[in-house]
Structure 1
Amino acid sequence: MTVRLPSIEQLKDISQTFGLALADDDLLSFRELMRGPIASCARLDRLVEPKLPVKYPRAPGYRPSSEENPYNAWYWKTEIKGASSGLLAGKSVAIKDNICVAGVPMMNGSQLLEGYVPEIDATVVTRILEAGGTIAGKAACEDLCFSGASHTSATGPILNPHNVKHSTGGSSGGSAAVVAAGDVPMALGGDQGGSIRTPSSWCGIYGLKPTWGLVPTTGSMPISYSVDHCGPMCASTEDVARLLTVIAGHDGLDPRTQLARTDDYLAALGKGLSGLRVGVLKQGFGHPESDPEVDRIARAAIDSLAATGATVSEVSIPMHYEGPHIWSGIILEGAAEMMLKGYGVGNNVAAYYPLSMQEAFARGMASRLNDASETVKLVLLLGEYLHRHYHNRYHSKAQNLRVLLRDAYDQALKDVDMLAMPTIPFTATPIPEPDCAREVYVDRALNMQANTCPFDVSGHPAFTIPCGRKDGLPVGLMLVGRHFEEARLIQAASAFEARKR
């Protein structure tokens, strides 16, 4: 790429956008003042930047046929083998398709990135390979991950293995479906509003959103810096503990991980529940959209924790009801600025930037934005409206209020070790018809997050575990702990899983 001085017409267009009253002589003067900075940009083009390492050989893989992919859950199949030994030896792992795997196509569920092939491995991918894992492929996801259901992906709806007429949940729907179908025991997901926990709950698997900053997102496409999380989605609690052990910890490139505190997650397995205090979150039940039977199943699961040795009491956190409003204020402008206008990477963060992904996404934004999902269009229009007409007020106020939300949970967690509630207030919804009204399309994508999105804002770890079924569809119980106390959640999940056997 060659950087050039702007033309007078280009500067005039920019000045008019911001209401600057500049004559042609002014513009010419500013143009001359830009020669030094533009020369620096030209020099940057000649310097060689560091790249994330690619340590294990691989073939590019292939797009699976419908016969091999009955739930439309795989975007791409591979077999990238890692080290000959390690904690994940013998384990195959699916990678959500917003995470870079070198030499393997990455679409992030969107036509805006169609045809892009990264040249880097994300940090979490390298760690999996170094631990002896095998990358089995890229799991399909929602269009730019902005949906909690599974009907917005550019490659078509992802089908729930328990009932193919129903959603897997999203945005990590492919990750949940390939684990639930038994294709792989482990997968990586991302979570900005519930995107690990919703599909894990609706597909009946184990899904852990770690504490914000515990797992690096280096080499992944974000939505919004302050709510981005990456974590394990697995067939068992033990597999969650194994995968989290491998991927957690500071990597030197994601500043969010500087304060990460890892733990011995495998040691938490099999410890039982004696002495653990569980707080039943009153506000996690009885939402207007709640299914009473889902509430009943979750309460029965909590009762079984008490029968296994935990101390159970009710906890009231009225601020929980404000969580979705605070989340909306953060993610709408955050996503519009970082994911869309920021060309998939944003700026002003001292982190690693995948330039090839940024450039590919910029081309897609320029040429294929009309092909984006209705949810992506909504986020762009509303986020930009709030930015232009309210000067980031609501994003800023929501960021300030997140402190109060976090503190409300922290205060309750002084008296109990974890909070418990239904993960999603209802079971998996039917996949809408292709010609459904936009209102149905959007509502079905975003109507399930009352209990999940507050913890993306507060950053607390949240673990969904399968706890029952209604009409053949899984129900999830969500356990929420103190920051960086994932081991306690794994301890409780392990005891619950053992009791079910």
Structure 2
Amino acid sequence: MADNALNSTFTEEELQKTAALFNVTVPEKDVEAYRVLLSGLDEAAQTLLKEEDYLPGLDLGRFPRENIHRPAEGENDHNAWAYRVTIKSTSTEDLSGLLSGKALAIKDNVNIGNVPSILGTDVISPGSYIPKYDATVVTRVLSAGATVVGKGACENFSMSPTSFTNAQSAVENPHAPGFNAGGSSSGCAALVASGIVDMAIGGDQGGSIRVPASYCGIVGLKPTFGLVPYTGIASLDAVVDHTGPMTKTVLDNALLLQVIAGRDEYDDRQIGLPIPLPAYHDELSKFADAPKDAVKGFKIGIISESFDMPGLDPRVISKVIEAAKAFETLGEDVTVEDISVPMHAMAPAIWTVATRQGFSEHGLRGQNPLRFGVHDADLTIALQEWNQEMFDKLALKNPAGTNALLGGQIIKDKYPGLTSKALNLARKLKDTYNELFERYDVLITPCAPTPANYTSAPEDDIMTKMSKAIGTTQNTAPFNISGNPAMSLPIAMLAPLEDETLKLPVGMQLVGKSFGELEILKAAYAWEQNFDWKSF
């Protein structure tokens, strides 16, 4: 046994240090045996380290990258760009696709091969993480004829519903400089709202498509969990990872969804995906001459508890209810009624507990979940070991991130088993919502609780910064953990509390059954085509 132990690179000190993590000590008489047994891990590891990684291919002939660069000072409208690049298919067949002529921005946590992902942070060196392949959604939009023109800036590790946490610069609301554009898909929302791009692909773990859509006055859809593949996108927690379309109009939203939705060979989030999927844009286009008919016979429920959340601006409550009731003017057979969903009030707590450990361990510390799919080892390695400098950098720009880092460990240590219980309750929440769709076609809640507020300053203390974000996702996060599709639709303009001379957008949230995107799109299209949200 002793001779075999000499071949092990695993020392007794390392063995006991590892055992101490579990509050145990390996008995002295067994040390040599474990050193030999565990040396097999080293042998397996050395074998794999010599092997080339197995990642999706990158077709630079079909999808060449041109002019990759960080935007220069003075060339970054609203501070909304992370990186610029031009990618357009060389295939004439691709260029005649559904997205022909459309310019797209891609959120900066989405892989574009050979283009750095900054992830909105300086915890890892900007430019140090360069993906080697394209995310599935990127390949799909390029194959449909779109031109990808850059990566939209996102919030620090995508962990903020506000737009001042990006380590490079705060993204500004295109309607009012200095005001919050929402997060974490802040750059994408600002670029679409200002008309710099036609469309964008954002990401959403708690409201990160819908909140910036609400603040910037665009259409933002978080699809059903798994409908759009997440392959090649930096994850926060696989149970709430969503990616989806951000557009100016509902019809464009349906068009982009039609291109990016569907089964992907890599993503194990795609549970229960129906085949075939609706042709969302084609189905919606049938109502072009009579948009009211899109909601013929619809029954719409307004979730009463969604208006009882703390911090909701009474003016937002009034506008959302007015906009919801307006559906009844689109046809005698359209009904709108208030409904009580008591569990909706508990949903933010379910989301918080269910995700906090994953955000901390996986999203921030690179502890990859044991699940199938494509994994980005370089990013995992960059996040493995935290130090004081990294913590201080994140705390300075985004205390929500350091709060999640600490909170995940607290949940794990102080409340063992509670994350598992929260995930069970998430299934109950999903069942609760989906039972309602036996009676209703669409549910309605407010989206963001207020119009955009004034952005925070770098020198503000933690509580001042956090006060801008607390409560923002209380009506959006529930549908991340339930997995239901949800959209922010612009319905009005209101003055922010900080400046009564301004008008900023307000969004209404429309929610559907699992894989019920078409019902949401029909309702949103009918409303959009019959009412002018800027003067509603």
Q: Normalized against structure 1, the TM-score is what? A: 0.95
Deviations 1:57-94 (A, max 9, x none): 11351111242213111111111112322111111111
Could you tell me which residue of structure 1 aligns to residue 319 of structure 2? 297
Q: Distance in 2 between matches of 1:420 and 1:432?
A: 30
| Structure 1 residues without counterparts, runs of 5 or longer | none
1:400 aligned to 407, 410, 424, which one?
424
SS of equivalent residue, structure 1 residue 272: helix
Name the CA shift for 1:385/1:287 in 2 (closer, same or farther; >3 Å). Answer: closer
Q: Distance in 1 between matches of 2:310 and 2:44?
A: 57
Deviation, 1:365, is 6.6
Could you tell me which residue of structure 2 aligns to residue 374 of structure 1? 399
Name the CA shift for 1:135/1:435 in 2 (closer, same or farther; >3 Å). Answer: same
Could you tell me which residue of structure 2 aligns to residue 348 of structure 1? 370
Note if 1:234 corresponds to 2:244. Answer: no
Note if 1:494 corresponds to 2:494. Answer: no
Q: Distance in 2 between matches of 1:5 and 1:492?
A: 64
Could you tell me which residue of structure 2 aligns to residue 263 of structure 1? 278
| More displaced 10-residue stretch of structure 1: 237-246 or 306-315 | 306-315
Whether the 8 Å contact between 1:208 and 1:232 is mirrored in structure 2 is: yes
Could you tell me which residue of structure 2 aligns to residue 319 of structure 1? 343
Deviation, 1:158, is 0.9
Q: Distance in 2 between matches of 1:70 and 1:84?
A: 28
Q: Distance in 1 between matches of 2:284 and 2:392?
A: 49
Report matched runs for 1:2-13 at 5 Å. Answer: 5-13=9-17
Could you tell me which residue of structure 1 aligns to residue 230 of structure 2? 217
Note if 1:45 corresponds to 2:61. Answer: no
1:284 aligned to 290, 300, 306, which one?
306
Name the CA shift for 1:239/1:423 in 2 (closer, same or farther; >3 Å). Answer: same
Deviation, 1:375, is 1.5
Deviation, 1:139, is 0.6
Instruction: Give identity over the alignment, percent.
Output: 36
Q: Distance in 2 between matches of 1:86 and 1:359?
A: 38
Deviations 1:27-65 (A, max 9, x none): 332111123332222222233343222221113511112
Deviation, 1:8, is 2.4
Deviation, 1:395, is 1.0
Q: Distance in 1 between matches of 2:434 and 2:95?
A: 42
| More displaced 10-residue stretch of structure 1: 96-105 or 422-431 | 422-431
Note if 1:478 corresponds to 2:489. Answer: no
Note if 1:418 corresponds to 2:434. Answer: no
Deviation, 1:304, is 2.0
Could you tell me which residue of structure 1 aligns to residue 76 of structure 2? 69
Whether the 8 Å contact between 1:286 and 1:292 is mirrored in structure 2 is: no
Q: Distance in 1 between matches of 2:461 and 2:49?
A: 47
Q: Distance in 2 between matches of 1:289 and 1:16?
A: 45
SS of equivalent residue, structure 2 residue 69: coil
Note if 1:467 corresponds to 2:496. Answer: no
Question: Over the residues paired in the alignment, what is the CA RMSD in angstroms?
Answer: 1.7
Could you tell me which residue of structure 2 aligns to residue 439 of structure 1? 463
Deviations 1:140-183 (A, max 9, x none): 11111111111111112111011122111111111101101111
Whether the 8 Å contact between 1:52 and 1:123 is mirrored in structure 2 is: no
Could you tell me which residue of structure 2 aligns to residue 246 of structure 1? 259
Whether the 8 Å contact between 1:315 and 1:412 is mirrored in structure 2 is: no
Q: Distance in 2 between matches of 1:308 and 1:190?
A: 33
Q: Distance in 2 between matches of 1:492 and 1:357?
A: 40
| More displaced 10-residue stretch of structure 1: 246-255 or 437-446 | 437-446
| More displaced 10-residue stretch of structure 1: 357-366 or 108-117 | 357-366
- Amino acid in structure 2 at the alignment position of 1:207: G
- Amino acid in structure 2 at the alignment position of 1:28: E
SS of equivalent residue, structure 2 residue 422: helix
2:122 aligned to 97, 103, 111, which one?
111
Could you tell me which residue of structure 2 aligns to residue 57 of structure 1? 64
Deviations 1:388-418 (A, max 9, x none): 2332x22112111112211221122211101
Deviations 1:287-319 (A, max 9, x none): 331111111111221122111123211111011
- Amino acid in structure 2 at the alignment position of 1:302: A
SS of equivalent residue, structure 1 residue 468: strand
Q: Distance in 1 between matches of 2:175 and 2:41?
A: 58
Q: Distance in 1 between matches of 2:345 and 2:171?
A: 30
Q: Distance in 1 between matches of 2:19 and 2:409?
A: 19
Name the CA shift for 1:290/1:462 in 2 (closer, same or farther; >3 Å). Answer: same
Q: Distance in 1 between matches of 2:471 and 2:178?
A: 18
Q: Distance in 2 between matches of 1:30 and 1:366?
A: 34
Note if 1:152 corresponds to 2:165. Answer: yes
Aligned length: 495
Q: Distance in 2 between matches of 1:457 and 1:389?
A: 22
Q: Distance in 1 between matches of 2:30 and 2:67?
A: 53
- Amino acid in structure 2 at the alignment position of 1:169: G
SS of equivalent residue, structure 1 residue 104: coil
Name the CA shift for 1:367/1:336 in 2 (closer, same or farther; >3 Å). Answer: same
- Amino acid in structure 2 at the alignment position of 1:450: Q
Deviation, 1:23, is 4.4
Could you tell me which residue of structure 2 aligns to residue 180 of structure 1? 193
Deviation, 1:25, is 4.9
Deviation, 1:377, is 1.1
Q: Distance in 2 between matches of 1:59 and 1:356?
A: 24
Deviation, 1:7, is 2.6
Whether the 8 Å contact between 1:317 and 1:412 is mirrored in structure 2 is: no
1:139 aligned to 141, 152, 157, which one?
152
Deviation, 1:283, is 1.3
SS of equivalent residue, structure 2 residue 384: helix
Could you tell me which residue of structure 1 aligns to residue 500 of structure 2? none
Q: Distance in 1 between matches of 2:339 and 2:415?
A: 37
- Amino acid in structure 2 at the alignment position of 1:491: K
Could you tell me which residue of structure 1 aligns to residue 220 of structure 2? 207
SS of equivalent residue, structure 2 residue 229: coil
SS of equivalent residue, structure 2 residue 269: helix
Whether the 8 Å contact between 2:365 and 2:383 is mirrored in structure 1 is: no
Could you tell me which residue of structure 2 aligns to residue 331 of structure 1? 355
SS of equivalent residue, structure 1 residue 446: coil
Deviation, 1:258, is 4.3
Whether the 8 Å contact between 2:192 and 2:199 is mirrored in structure 1 is: yes
Name the CA shift for 1:11/1:60 in 2 (closer, same or farther; >3 Å). Answer: farther
Note if 1:167 corresponds to 2:180. Answer: yes
Q: Distance in 2 between matches of 1:489 and 1:166?
A: 29
Q: Distance in 2 between matches of 1:476 and 1:111?
A: 31
Whether the 8 Å contact between 1:8 and 1:24 is mirrored in structure 2 is: no
| Structure 2 residues without counterparts, runs of 5 or longer | 1-7, 288-292, 496-502
Structure 1 runs, 4 residues or longer, greater than 4 Å off: 363-367
Q: Distance in 1 between matches of 2:364 and 2:112?
A: 22
2:411 aligned to 370, 386, 391, which one?
386
Name the CA shift for 1:405/1:177 in 2 (closer, same or farther; >3 Å). Answer: same
| More displaced 10-residue stretch of structure 1: 333-342 or 454-463 | 333-342
